Amino acid sequence: MTRVAALQGIGLSKTFGGLKAVNDVSFEVPAGSLTALIGPNGAGKTTLFNLITNLFPPDTGEVRYFGTSLSGKGPSEIAGLGLLRTFQTARVFPGMTALENVLVGAHRQVKSNAYAQMLWLGGARREEARLTEQADALLDLVGLSSFRDVAATSLPMGAQKLIEVCRAMMAKPRLLLLDEPAAGLNDAETAELAALLRAVRDSGITIMVVEHNMSLVMNVADQVVVLDLGSFIARGTPAEVQRDRRVIEAYLGLQHGAA
Amino acid sequence: MDQLTQIVIGGLVQGIVFAIVALGMSLVYRVTGIINLAQGGFCVIAALGYYQLSQVLGWPPVAAFVAAAAGTTVFGLLIGAATFVPALSRLPNSSMLMLTAGLLTFLQGLTLVIWGSQPYAVAPFSGEQPITLAGVRFPSQGPWIVGVAAVVVLGTWYLLTRTASGKALLACAENPHAARLMGIDVSRLTLFSFGLTALIAALGGIAVAPIISLEFDTGGFFTNAGFIAVAIGGMSSLVGSVGGGLFLGVAEQLAAGYVSSLFSNALALALLLVTLLWRPQGLFMPRRTRRLDVREDVRVYRAIVRFRGVRAAAVGLVALAVLIALPYLVGEGGLLSSLVITGILFIGVLGLDVLMGYAGQVSLGQAAFLAIGGYTAAILATTYDFSPLVGTLAGMAVSLVCAIVLSLVTMRLRGAYLALATLSFGLLVDSLTVGLNITGGPSGLVGIPSFAIGPYSFDSDISMYYLVLGLIVVLVAALYGGMRSSFGRALQAIRTDQTAAAALGIDVPRYKMAAFAISALLGSLCGSLYAFDFHFLSPEMVSTPRSFEMIAMQVVGGEGMLVGGLVGSALITLLPTIFQPLAAYKTLAEGAILVLAFQYLPDGIVGTIARWLSAEETPKPATAQLAAKGQAP
């Protein structure tokens, strides 16, 4: 059965000054799967995310999203197509509460235009109520309900990252790119995150995750893609990748063999 | 050829002055990341101080020079210690910029109070006779100016590159947190740099005083020239400041000499805009790219005030009832007509709040839209006999087009660069209102009819009051709905993190343009009503100081709340009316209010009250709830 891959990277490269951050990387993310992108620091994982969302354009190569090329599309256009991402250092909006932050994510879904909102017409009011319910449900899912009216930037980093995830979820994405969602979470919280990720994937959303937390990756990922120094070095199931010699070499000093 | 040489010489001399001011601004910018708009004010105070000592009190020139420069430096240190340095750790960059604008206003007000508004002529240091060298004439003050400039440039260069303090200064600019961790006393160094730039400004001001006409608002002229020079040359570069200053000086003199002085103003601003768009880092600096995948490091963010629900509605209704009854409590007369002006100006401030308070786009040119709206409507109503309503709508249409163009042109600019671009737009409109014939020039337009809708003419103060009040209620109600739903949230997202906003699907350029359009439309409406209410319109009523005044109204009242500006407008408009003796001190008071409001009332008056009234509802920092949950943040 050949379904269109959710995401395809074809020969992507990006050089900054003298540094080749991403070097001819190709990969495929099957629809409905959870793919983990791993590699030592400096491997080019976040740069790859930035290329996918066209934060800056690749020097060579192309990204295809459910078959459509993303070349030349701006970040907001890409988000409008249902490709949402979070950032490595949580970028919640200061000056807004946790709830308001999550509601910003709904931007893509909002039907009523500015004029209807200004006149506070019935349709706009009802939509606002509906979106607020959804946002509350998401915050409840990640255990942050009690912080709904708190200034988002005053929360610990782990909570801010969860708010970012909720915010991305509000946009009803087809593909979700999460940049180190487990950073700053303790073991219990990481287990909750794993459950959340599985639930999101099971609801039909394709996920691609950059992560350093190996136990999380091994637990939830369907596919693992490994980068090192900007180049692709391995791909496969978590078990396969764990045994791959090239991967073990790249991670020299960290875990060897089975966890 | 001889004339060309003379003009170029004149341009170079001018340019050296610009370079000195630019150098001071560049120094503060390098240490703090803030453009110090108060720079020009210190130039004037030093120059007038020198005048006072040497020509009024008869001191010998050298003594007067040293005393004036030293006195200004001490004064600068005091002001910096009281305002600039403490505020630096508490305010975001855009507020700091406005704080320095407030300081400039304060210094101009001080100058006005002490020396009045007449021009002063300072005697040149070495006699009136121009010097002739190789067949070219220099003003006798020329060598002095060059000499002072050389001392300043070399001294600054030596300080920054050869001394440990200099390196520490540069470290502060790069990363104040890291600098503190290295044991560098950032506050002391900031104060030191502030005092140093006051000294630089003083030296430059005194040296150039003999060749210009010195008035209380010449400070604004120096500041404008200085920041244009530093923006063109490169804000972080010594060479840039000097190069930019000289370039600007020569370009302006050539334009003034061969075309007209109106053209030379416009040329300076066009050069600025071109530089900001084509090479924003300045002509003499290498391009510096910014990382987009990490949020820009901003020092401070505004705290959240949320005042909604039944209590807020009750307060709102009471306030509205008072406003409706106000004319009967106050009676006809000066106070009522001032209230009308308060309301009219608030409409312009409301637009500014959408653009600056919500979308976070700094605009120092709001008065330009007042001018466009006011003059379009007035000209159509007087010369062409159009009805005031049509004139007002036409003004709004013209303003809308200008706003769209301005927004497109400045789309990539942020922070200080955006502020400069809007300021230059405002100054451009200023020079057009003064220079064009159709606007009546400096004396303005007279005989503007009252505002009228159809056959009904709003002749009396009372009728205008209720018209304006009605408009305000409608506008606030319409904007309120928009601001508290996804439109408003999108603007607020853009204010703090454009990249993250775009990553969520928000079409950032479109929203910025919408915010600009709203501010322009309301500014235009404000300007038109102002003209019809006053039956007279002159450039001073709608020029750049008005832009700063409106920002002061917004900040004092409270940003990001829509109605905050009403209190600010009332305070700033009514204060001199109620206390007649204060009228002469108006500029001084305005500057002081702006500075103090930024420092001690970051939420503004309405914001502070709202915060107090909504104590239970206000978002608390998470630490309280986390502690309750038994977790540490």
Q: Is B578 exposed, middle or buried (0-12, 13-18, 19+ CB in 10 A)?
A: exposed
Chain A nearest-CA distance from B475, in A, is 10
Based on C-alpha coordinates, what's the Rg of chain A? 19
**Residue B219 shares a structural domain with residue B346:** no
Q: Which of B91, B292, B293 to mutate to test the interface with A (most CBs of A within 10 A)?
A: B293
Q: How confident is the model at residue B631 (pLDDT cuts 50, 70, 90)?
A: very low
Q: Which of B289, B292, B304 to mutate to test the interface with A (most CBs of A within 10 A)?
A: B304
Residue B299 near chain A (CB below 8 Å): no
The pLDDT of B484-500, averaged and rounded, is 90
Q: How confident is the model at residue B259 (pLDDT cuts 50, 70, 90)?
A: confident
State the pLDDT at residue B174.
Answer: 65
**Residue B347 shares a structural domain with residue B436:** yes
A34-38 and A223-228: which strand pairing?
parallel
**What is the rounded CA–CA span in Å between residue B330 and residue A93?**
45
Chain A nearest-CA distance from B604, in A, is 16
**Residue B345 shares a structural domain with residue B235:** no
Chain A nearest-CA distance from B388, in A, is 26
Residue B622 has its nearest CB partner, among A106, A150, A168, at: A150
Residue B630 has pLDDT above 60, yes or no: no
Chain B nearest-CA distance from A245, in A, is 32
Q: Which of B485, B492, B616, B617 to mutate to test the interface with A (most CBs of A within 10 A)?
A: B485
Contacts of B619 in chain A (CB under 8 A): 97, 149-151
Q: What is the 3-state secondary structure (H, E, C) of B429-447?
A: HHHHHHHCCCCCHHHCEEC
Interchain pair A89, B496: CB under 8 A: no
- The model's pLDDT over B440-476, given as tens digits with 9 standing for 90+, comes to 888 889 989 999 888 888 888 899 999 999 999 999 9
Q: B598 - beta bridge partners?
A: none
**Residue B229 shares a structural domain with residue B111:** yes
Interchain pair B306, A107: CB under 8 A: no
Interchain pair A91, B295: CB under 8 A: yes
Q: A232 - beta bridge partners?
A: A227
Interchain pair B504, A171: CB under 8 A: yes
Contacts of A80 in chain B (CB under 8 A): 505
Residue B255 has pLDDT above 90, yes or no: no
Q: Which of A15, A46, A100, A163 to mutate to test the interface with B (most CBs of B within 10 A)?
A: A100
CATH architecture of the region A7-82+173-250: 3-Layer(aba) Sandwich (3.40)
Interchain pair A79, B633: CB under 8 A: no
Interchain pair B304, A97: CB under 8 A: yes
- The model's pLDDT over A131-176, given as tens digits with 9 standing for 90+, comes to 999 999 999 988 899 999 888 988 888 888 889 999 999 999 999 9
Domain assignment present for B363? yes
Domain assignment present for B140? yes
Residue of A nearest to B491 (CA): A104
Contacts of B482 in chain A (CB under 8 A): 114, 117-118
Contacts of A93 in chain B (CB under 8 A): 492-493, 496-497, 500-501
**Residue B265 shares a structural domain with residue B344:** no
Chain A nearest-CA distance from B316, in A, is 18
CB-based contact B566:B322 (threshold 8 Å)? no
**Residue B318 shares a structural domain with residue B190:** no
**Residue B347 shares a structural domain with residue B483:** yes
Interchain pair A89, B294: CB under 8 A: yes
Q: What is the 3-state secondary structure (H, E, C) of chain A?
A: CCCCCCEEEEEEEEEECCEEEEEEEEEEECCCCEEEEECCCCCCHHHHHHHHCCCCCCCEEEEEECCEECCCCCHHHHHHCCEEECCCCCCCCCCCEHHHHHHHHHHHCCCCCHHHHHCCCHHHHHHHHHHHHHHHHHHHHCCCHHHCCCEHHHCCHHHHHHHHHHHHHHCCCCEEEEECCCCCCCHHHHHHHHHHHHHHHHCCCEEEEECCCHHHHHHHCCEEEEEECCEEEEEECHHHHHHCHHHHHHCCCCCCCCC
Domain assignment present for B619? no
Residue B482 has its nearest CB partner, among A106, A114, A171, at: A114
Q: What is the CATH number of the domain that holds B202?
A: 1.10.3470
Interchain pair B502, A75: CB under 8 A: yes
Q: How confident is the model at residue B633 (pLDDT cuts 50, 70, 90)?
A: very low
Contacts of B499 in chain A (CB under 8 A): 55, 75, 91
Contacts of A130 in chain B (CB under 8 A): none
State the pLDDT at residue B301.
Answer: 62
Instruction: Give the pair of three-digit tokens for residue B48.
Output: 């007038």
**What is the rounded CA–CA span in Å between residue A21 and residue A48?**
9
Q: Which of A91, A113, A130, A162 to mutate to test the interface with B (most CBs of B within 10 A)?
A: A91
**What is the rounded CA–CA span in Å between residue A14 and residue A54?**
12
Domain assignment present for B181? yes
ipTM for the complex shown: 0.88
| Tokens 């030093």, located at residue | B46
* 3 state SS of B414: coil
Every domain of chain A and the residues it spans: 7-82+173-250
**Residue B263 shares a structural domain with residue B334:** no
- The model's pLDDT over B371-383, given as tens digits with 9 standing for 90+, comes to 999 999 999 999 8
Contacts of A131 in chain B (CB under 8 A): 486
Q: Which uninterrupted H or E stretch holds B536?
A: strand B536-537
Contacts of B514 in chain A (CB under 8 A): 114
**What is the rounded CA–CA span in Å between residue A144 and residue A166?**
10
Residue B302 near chain A (CB below 8 Å): yes
Residue B304 has its nearest CB partner, among A74, A84, A96, at: A96
Q: What is the 3-state secondary structure (H, E, C) of A14-59?
A: EEECCEEEEEEEEEEECCCCEEEEECCCCCCHHHHHHHHCCCCCCC
Contacts of B357 in chain A (CB under 8 A): none
- Between A188 and B531, whose confidence is greater? B531
Residue B287 near chain A (CB below 8 Å): no
Interchain pair B503, A79: CB under 8 A: yes
Q: How confident is the model at residue A185 (pLDDT cuts 50, 70, 90)?
A: confident
What's the number of CA atoms in the CB half-sphere (13 Å) around residue A241?
Answer: 24
Residue of B nearest to A74 (CA): B502
Residue of B nearest to A113 (CA): B487
Based on C-alpha coordinates, what's the Rg of chain B? 25
| Tokens 């990640």, located at residue | A142
Chain B nearest-CA distance from A94, in A, is 7
**Residue B553 shares a structural domain with residue B593:** yes
**Residue B321 shares a structural domain with residue B234:** no
Residues with Cβ within 8 Å of residue B617, at least 6 apart in sequence = A149, B306, B307, B308, B309
The pLDDT of A222-248, averaged and rounded, is 90
Q: What's the start-to-end Cα distance of chain B, in Å?
A: 73
Residue of A nearest to B481 (CA): A118
The pLDDT of B42-58, averaged and rounded, is 90
**Residue B200 shares a structural domain with residue B341:** no
Of B515, B444, B9, the closest CA to residue B254 belongs to B9
Contacts of A100 in chain B (CB under 8 A): 489, 492
State the pLDDT at residue B541.
Answer: 92
State the pLDDT at residue B510.
Answer: 93
Q: How confident is the model at residue B316 (pLDDT cuts 50, 70, 90)?
A: confident
State the pLDDT at residue A1.
Answer: 47
| Tokens 């071109």, located at residue | B274
Domain assignment present for B301? no
A20 φ/ψ angles, rounded to the nearest 5 degrees: -90, 95
State the pLDDT at residue A258.
Answer: 45
Instruction: Give the pair of three-digit tokens for residue A117.
Output: 């909102």
Torsion sign across C-alpha atoms B231, B232, B234, B238 = negative
Residue B77 has pLDDT above 90, yes or no: yes
The pLDDT of B157-169, averaged and rounded, is 81
Residue B311 near chain A (CB below 8 Å): no
Tally of domains within chain B: 2
- Least reliable range by pLDDT among B290-304, B326-340, B494-508: B290-304
Chain B nearest-CA distance from A256, in A, is 32
Tell me how long chain A is: 259
Contacts of B292 in chain A (CB under 8 A): 50, 55-56
Residue of B nearest to A166 (CA): B504
Q: Is A168 exposed, middle or buried (0-12, 13-18, 19+ CB in 10 A)?
A: buried
Chain B nearest-CA distance from A108, in A, is 6
Interchain pair A117, B505: CB under 8 A: no
The pLDDT of B45-51, averaged and rounded, is 92
Domain assignment present for B285? no
State the pLDDT at residue B299.
Answer: 55
**Residue B257 shares a structural domain with residue B337:** no
Instruction: Give the highest mean pLDDT range of A242-246, A250-254, B338-342, B440-444.
Output: B338-342
Range of the domain at B478: 310-598
